[in-house]
Structure formats: C-alpha cells, structure tokens
C-alpha cells in the first residue's frame, strides 16, 4: 500500500508530473491532496482555474492510470462538502476518477489534525483523544 502526499505543487499538471515521475501505474492506493478550502465544491490546486472538478479528460486519465484498483483520494480542504453543491461536485469526482473520494464539511488541516483554533469546539475532551480529522468527513463511492 502506498499512501502518497503530493508535496508542494503549483497546479494540477505539476502534481501529475511529480506523481508520474515518482510512482508506477496502478500503485497509489491513497492520495492525500490538501490546500486551503473556503467554498464548498471548489477544490483548488493552484488557483481558481486549477480545480479538481475542472480537470481535462487527459488530466483525469493521467491520474486514473496511477491509482490502484481500490484507491481513495483524501481531499483535505476545509468546507469541501459544506453544502449540497459540494457533495454533488465530490460525487462527480468519484465518478470521474472511478475511485473513492473522502472530503470534509468543516475544518481539517493538511496533516489530518484539527486546526488549533478549533480545539475549543470539543470542550471536556483531552487533546490526545480529539479527532485527527473532521468528524464530518464523508466517503463518496463511484456510482457510474
């Protein structure tokens, strides 16, 4: 099993170039993509024009080729599925990539831990027992 963090990338093509250089076809079982998130369904990699939902068919095929048969893409961007549109966009991504997609409705950090300023949202729970990722995360499965 290979769990992959893309590292710092400037756009979608840069991410794909780095992944293709590092990993053979069909070997990525979990891909973690993180960035700041502000609006549901807008999973930006390098800017407004470089969103996962705006990937070209060529880019989609490049990514699909790298994924293992049971792969999951973990999109760690705050508020990604914060509304119905965010959930629809994420379901569309699962269908396009033919893999499971995990996304979050609230805050999540790139490392899977809650941001420091959200810790007061869990009063009475010791730090070491708090969630490592947003408990409002959801997994979307390919339907098409």
pLDDT one-digit tens code per residue, 42-82: 998 877 788 999 999 999 999 999 999 999 999 988 788 88
The string of pLDDT tens digits covering residues 2-36 is 455 556 788 999 999 999 999 999 999 999 888 87
Query: What pTM value is reported for the model?
Result: 0.81
Q: Which two tokens stand for residue 84?
A: 């119905």
How large is the average pLDDT for residues 73-96?
92
Write the DSSP assignment of 24-42 as a string of letters. Answer: -TT-EEEEEEE----STT-
Residue 53 is encoded by which pair of tokens?
């939902």
Range scoring the smallest mean pLDDT among 10-19, 78-87, 101-110, 111-120: 111-120
**What pLDDT shows up at residue 120?**
44
Q: Which range has the top average pLDDT, 76-80, 121-125, 126-130? A: 76-80
Sequence-separated (6 or more) residues with CB below 8 Å from residue 8: none
Domain coordinates of the chain in residue numbers?
2-140
CA 61 – CA 105 distance, rounded (Å): 27
């Amino acid at each position: 099993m290979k769990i992959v963090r893309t590292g710092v990338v400037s756009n979608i093509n840069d991410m794909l170039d780095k992944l293709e250089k590092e990993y053979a076809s069909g070997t990525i079982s979990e891909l973690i993509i993180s960035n700041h998130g502000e609006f549901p369904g807008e999973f930006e990699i390098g800017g407004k024009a470089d969103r996962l939902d705006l990937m070209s068919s060529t880019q989609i095929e490049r990514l699909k080729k790298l994924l293992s048969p049971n792969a999951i893409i973990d999109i760690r961007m705050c508020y990604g599925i914060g509304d119905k549109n965010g959930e629809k966009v994420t379901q569309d991504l699962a269908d396009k990539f033919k893999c499971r997609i995990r996304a979050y409705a609230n805050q999540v950090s790139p490392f899977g831990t809650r941001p420091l300023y959200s810790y007061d949202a869990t009063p009475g729970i010791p730090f070491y027992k708090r969630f490592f990722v947003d408990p409002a995360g959801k997994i979307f499965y390919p339907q098409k």
